[in-house]
Amino acid sequence: MAQAVLWPKKTFFYPIGNTSPISLTQDLPPGIPADILLLGCGDPRNILYTLQSDLRCDKASCRRFDITCCDIEPAILARNILLFTLLVDARVDDDETWNIFYHFYLDDASIQRLWDQCSALVKASQSLESWQNSPYSSFLRMCTAHTLQHLHNQWVLYLNTKSMSEGERARLKKKFRSEAEAISQREDFISSCWSAGPFWADFQAVTTEHFKSYWHTGTMTFDSRSPSVPHLNPTFVYSLMGDVFNVHYATNPIRAFHLAACYPSVTSGSSGTGPPTMESVIRAAKSQFCQWSQAFRDAVTESSIVLRFFNGDALALCNALQELRRSGTTLTSIGVSYWMGTHIHFHDEYLLSSTHPAPSCYNVIDTSNLSDHLGDMNILAGTVPLLREDQFSALRTQTLLSASPGRSAPQALVEQFCGDVSTLSLLLGVAPVSYITRYTTHYSPQQSMKSIVPADSSLPQELSKYLFGVYLKMFVHEMSKEGIGLPSLEHMMTSSGFFYARPSFVAVLKVMKDKLETNWNVTMRQLFDLIAADKKLFTGLNFYQDLCSELHHQGVYTVDTLSSSVSIESDHAIFRHWGGSIPPLVCLALKIPRANLNKVPDDIGTPVLQLELRSPTAHFHNSFSFLQLTFGTLSIDGDPKDPTFTITQDPLRWSGVSDLILTVWLPAWILCVSPTTTEVMFSFRSIPSNKFITKLIRTLGLLLVIFKTKLLDRQHVFLSRRNPSFSDTYPTSSTLGLKQAEVPRATSADDRPFFVKASLNPDNIAALSIRSDVVDTTAREALLKGHSVIATQKTSCQVEFQFDGFRHQVAFPYPIDGAKIKLRIARKSHYIEVCTPISNPKVLDSLSFNHVPVPMLQVPWLWSMHYLSVSLLPVIDVNSDLGWIRQHISLIFSERECRLRDLRAAQRVDTLLAIKDTFFTLIFASVGIDIPREQIVCLMDEETDLPEIVIFLRHLRFDLASHTVVVDCFVLPFTNGADWAWKVLSRRSMLMIKTHSAEIRAWKQMLPAITECCRTWSHTDNCEYLIRGIPASLASSETPLCSCGLGHGASSYFKDAGLDKRFCDYVTAAAISPLFALSFLESIGRSQIKCAAQDCNKTEGLKRCARCRVISYCSALCQKSDWKRHKAVCKKV
């Protein structure tokens, strides 16, 4: 764990999700086994929907799923398992299951079924052994005994409501109902509905209506009368906070479904034309739930799914899995959470010697919206080491928060990743896919990060300066204005103070150390020189020892004061009873009286906690953030020469009466400076962005001290070489090499090993370089003879150099700027080094390169598009009101692209824009907006006037998980053998789109991706992709596609459409998704055009510059005044 430790006395319970489900396998090719880690898993909607929507090559094939579910709230996991077991019980009626999972109040049959199921679960969960012997263990597994115990306790609580007296039940229900009713009466609350995607505004009224109804009746019903539901559902009552009302006040179950499915125009044959109603929404939700339920039963029957459960902190699980992978032992030194000291001890299934070892690395890691609560840097440090390095792997994140006020989306992205995204990606070895491709196929706020080859920085000085920049950005909330005085208000109001502590920075360094090949010790020495000299962070030096301690503890780096050569004698007053040498770090335990905790007000949010050591006479003040906090009692065991702690935990935690025990690692030498005057303080960190700061100061004083005592206080302060919540061994520093991974690329380069090196500026990557050894004897001789070497950019990431007939390709992990390639040729040493800057993500190149790469690994694999089961997607009714499509599809264009679209075709030197324009036309042609509806679209080469690609439009469908439309079609690339097809098609009504050769090339590059994304067939051993690469060819009159998918699913379509059945032998099914512009790179959509002259914002009477035709002026006077500035960029048409 590395995040800041927060005061969690009040945390909400989220029993039901607040976003529509996504497919967890949308980044995995069909058939590839899915090892999935869900951090902050929440309710099981994503799991259920994934099983129902997963793409299969055929009906008989079935992907293997192994899904690990992690949540810190045991009630969430207990409810999920309750649901899973209800679903596999053939006796259970779906209505009862629906009621139990979604309703606050239950009827007699539902509450009895709940009690019966809990009784079975309580019996099965007595121990890991009893669980293994239960009928549910074949598909439900426990990661730890601790998890099973907490789930057992939850089910006991649910079951105990059966034996409550009528009076006890009535009191509990009355308390719950009064608070729920208060929420239902809120007039200021409008329930947002992003689950409806582009229709969110149309669903605003009905979701708000349902919200009020749900909190009033406690049920999902469209009956205006309150149903007879006499029993309080105990699964909504008990959570970490006890039996108090704690369900989040914005809970609205219908937001956990795909509401777009009940929009009138989304389902063909829909009888409704008006706005959605409560009845239609609830019926749609129940229908989806029934489909998901059946898919889950099928998966259990097929023995294709195993679900594992871990109750604890998400980053704690990540760190424990990392330790498991390093040590191979199941008992780790990591606590379950900051507020529970129990060490994570994995089940024996996690041993490699197990018959069927549980996964400890994954090809899908989904973090829900944890980045909103933990920060992206913490998420990356915890998850990147757990991603399987097979290039299928994806790390998925989601944010539900908008950028901070006054910050643009690009600024927010830099804050999110604490600096330049490209640089961080290259050093960590993962990159946001959309940032590289410059588009996304999702309308919803999802982000996929995938593995790339990490780049080494050969110069420690460069790397140290970059890392120092990351350090400053992680702790920007401490930054003072112009380096003097208190932190500025702008910096203090950032959220990083709630996310990051010095251990967060250490965690990032640890990942980089394991990824990079550089002189790490020199890098760290130079970094520490910069940190020690820093004057920008107001409290930087206060946390300096915190940083040193954690670096040593994690084996990342050891400063001189903590090296083994530094000796602290035990005759110091603080250690006078200890025998032997004193370790560099010692564990301090502080017993904080419950009475002091009770003084802290209840309503204070979640402020950050810290331990402070200060001595007014010795003039030092150090703060430490890596705290372990446990309610319970502490006893000192062992010989006084080597004391150890035992902490007996209080299961009642906040509801109990026990003191709070804090443990933390500290440098031993600090405790020897002035032990008699040193004070130990447990306090809140003063972060003005916490809106409760005034209340805290009023109660605790300016220093926000919860408890303070002297270091030599033997009643409250204890020291040991060991910590009950930490390992008593320290990792040692080691030099680790670069982890080699295959680079995503569309064509195969030479597979000889290489290293990518990066030259760094303080804020970004200056250049990348790849050294390639020339091993061929003839080629070496040609180099020695002085033959010139020519380098050519072949794809966005690939460079080919050639000389004297010898050709070789190297692949960079990031798109590069091919116009600035430099070669370093060592003729006598027989190597060539290719150096180039990376491409600016804001500059969308004229796309002669493949922006939709499909690498060939075990199978073709999509890198920038997602997989989807087209046949399961609802069809858009072409006879309904489709005005929403125009507005929705316009979002594929950035503001820059909108301006370019206003220019003449000769000025639009942007192939990606051309592809988007063609897609725009395809959408309109498929449903008949602005142009007649067409079934056939032909892309013509405007130079040759010959057909290149024919697209047979089958349906326009709605991609529920991505909240956008998708064109369901067949594609026919014209080849020499298909000359007859043009004669047949020329007699049919058809939309012909003339386009330039660069766009035709781009479409041919894209065809393998749009046919792979919906593939329901398997590639054969004779697949052309294996022989010729992907695409198979870009030549005119040759197909870029393999022949494996020809004709699959085509016969019925061509028969119903009255088309020649011979087409079936030449077409391949495809799905074309929109390529949305990215708000964090460019402004989206068309903004109001203003006069370009400075200090003039007129919007009327504008005329374009006659020379460039790009910018506009309101008058000749404004144009003249702006000419000196504009002429530098004005280009003649």
Measuring CA to CA, which residue among 107, 70, 100, 71 is closest to residue 83?
100
Least confident of 156-160, 171-175, 1105-1109: 1105-1109
Residue percentage of the chain with pLDDT more than 70: 89
Rounded CA-CA distance 971/974 in Å is: 10
Percent of the chain whose predicted confidence (pLDDT) is above 90: 59
d(C-alpha 394, C-alpha 396), whole Å: 6
**DSSP per position, 891-943:** GGSBHHHHHHHTS-GGG---HHHHHHHHHHHHHHHHHTSSS---SEEEEEETT
What does the pLDDT read at residue 849? 63
Q: Give how far Cα 559 sits from Cα of 182, 193, 461, 463, 564, Å.
A: 57, 52, 18, 18, 10
| Chain segment 311-360, per-residue pLDDT in tens | 999 999 999 999 999 999 999 999 999 999 899 999 999 998 888 899 99
Number of neighbouring beta carbons within 10 Å of residue 679 = 16
In 3D, which of 316, 361, 325, 318 has the Cα closest to residue 343?
316
pLDDT of residue 392: 77
Provide mean pLDDT across the span 373-394: 91
* Selection from 955, 972, 933 nearest residue 872 by Cα: 955
Residue 409, classed as helix, strand or coil, is helix
Residue labelled with tokens 């192939």? 911
Amino acid 457: pLDDT: 65
Q: What is the DSSP letter of 819?
A: G
What's the pLDDT at 802? 92
For residue 965, give both structure tokens: 């439309």
> Which ranges in 618-769 belong to alpha helices (H)?
668-671, 693-700
Residue 563 pLDDT class (50, 70, 90 cuts): confident
For residue 176, what is the enclosing H or E element? helix 166-184
Give 1045-1069 as a DSSP string.
Answer: TTTTTTHHHHHHTT--GGGGGT-EE
User: Comparing C-alpha atoms, which of 603, 439, 460 is closest to residue 523?
Assistant: 460
Can you tell me the mean pLDDT for 410-426?
A: 87
Helices H / strands E in the chain, number of each? 33, 36
Q: Determine the Cα–Cα distance for residues 628 and 334; give it in Å rounded to an integer.
A: 10
Over residues 1105-1131, the mean pLDDT reads 78
Task: Provide mean pLDDT across the span 361-381.
Answer: 94
Cα–Cα–Cα angle for 644, 649, 655, nearest 5°? Answer: 145
Residue 455 near residue 758 (C-beta atoms within 8 A)? yes
Name the strand (E) or helix (H) holding 970: strand 964-973
Neighbours of 494 (CB within 10 A): 20
Residue reference for tokens 């919906």? 1014
Residues 172, 176: Cα–Cα separation, whole Å: 6
Q: What is the pLDDT of residues 751-783, one digit of tens each?
A: 444 568 888 888 888 888 998 888 888 899 998
Rounded to the nearest 10°, the torsion over CA 130, 133, 136, 141 is 70
Per-residue pLDDT at 449 exceeds 80:
yes
478-506 pLDDT per residue, tens: 887 555 455 555 555 555 667 899 999 99
CB 860 within 8 A of CB 1019: yes
Of 777, 775, 779, 778, whose CA–CA distance to 789 is shortest?
Answer: 779
Tokens of 205: 């009224």
Which tokens belong to 622?
A: 């150090």
* Predicted local distance difference test score (pLDDT) of residue 345: 96
User: Where do we find the tokens 């505004």?
Assistant: 201
Higher-pLDDT residue of 820 and 525 is 525
Give the range with max mean pLDDT: 858-867, 887-896, 927-936, 963-972. Answer: 963-972
Task: Check if the beta carbon of residue 600 is closer than 8 Å to that of residue 706.
Answer: yes
What's the alpha-carbon Rg for the chain, to the nearest Å? Answer: 32
The residue ranges of DSSP E strands in 275-366, in sequence order, are: 305-311, 331-337, 340-345, 364-366
Distance CA 77, CA 64 (A): 22
Q: Is residue 845 pLDDT above 60, yes or no?
A: no
**From start to end of 999-1099, where are the E strands?**
1068-1072
Orientation of helix 911-927 relative to helix 997-1012, angle to 10°: 60
* Distance, CA of 507 to CA of 514 (rounded, Å): 11
For 796, 1030, 1067, the CA distances from 1039, given in Å and listed in that order, are: 22, 11, 11
The string of DSSP letters for 246-293 reads -B-TT--GGGGS-GGGGSTTTSTT----S---HHHHHHHHHHHHHHHH
CA distance 66 to 420: 35
Phi, psi values for residue 954, rounded to 5°:
-90, -60
Distance from C-alpha of 312 to C-alpha of 71, rounded to nearest angstrom: 6
Q: Quick one: how far is CA 868 from the chain centroid?
A: 19
pLDDT of residue 754: 55
HSE-up of 1129 (CA within 13 Å, CB side)? 8
Name the residue with higher pLDDT: 1065 or 1105: 1065
Q: Which two tokens stand for residue 839?
A: 């491409």
Convert the pLDDT of each residue in 23-59 to its tens digit: 999 999 999 999 999 999 999 999 999 999 999 987 7
Contacts of 580 (CB under 8 A, 6+ apart): 570, 641, 642
**Does 288 score more than 50 pLDDT?**
yes
Sign of CA dihedral 42, 48, 53, 58: positive
Q: pLDDT at position 710, please?
A: 97
For strands 936-941 and 991-995, give the pairing. Answer: parallel
**Average pLDDT over all residues of the chain:** 87
Q: Are strands 628-637 and 446-451 parallel, antiparallel or unpaired?
A: unpaired
| Residues shown for the chain | 1133
Contacts 24+ apart (CB under 8 A), 851-854: 851/437, 851/438, 851/439, 851/796, 851/912, 851/1002, 851/1005, 852/437, 852/1005, 852/1006, 852/1009, 852/1010, 853/744, 853/745, 853/746, 853/795, 853/1009, 854/746, 854/1008, 854/1009, 854/1012, 854/1030, 854/1031
Tell how strand 765-773 and strand 1103-1104 pair up: unpaired
pLDDT tens digit sequence for 621-653: 999 999 999 999 999 887 888 888 899 999 888
How far is Cα 894 from Cα 100, in angstroms, rounded to an integer?
46
Q: Per-residue DSSP letters for 123-151? A: HHTSSHHHHHTSTTTTTEEESBHHHHHHH
Long-range interactions of 691-694: CB distance < 8 A, separation 24+: 691/605, 692/601, 692/603, 692/604, 692/605, 692/607
Q: In the block, which residue shows the tokens 């790490």?
A: 520
The helix or strand, by DSSP H or E, that contains position 634, with its residue range, turns out to be strand 628-637
Question: Residue 200 belongs to what H/E stretch?
Answer: helix 200-217
Of residues 419, 443, 633, the one with CA closest to residue 508: 419
pLDDT at 1091: 82
Neighbour tally for 948: CB within 10 Å: 21
Q: What is the pairing mode between strands 394-398 and 609-615?
A: unpaired
pLDDT digits (tens, 9 = 90+) for 84-111: 999 998 766 678 999 999 999 999 999 9
Q: What is the pTM of this model?
A: 0.90
User: Are 330 and 354 spatial neighbours (Cβ–Cβ below 8 Å)?
Assistant: no
DSSP one-letter code for 716: T
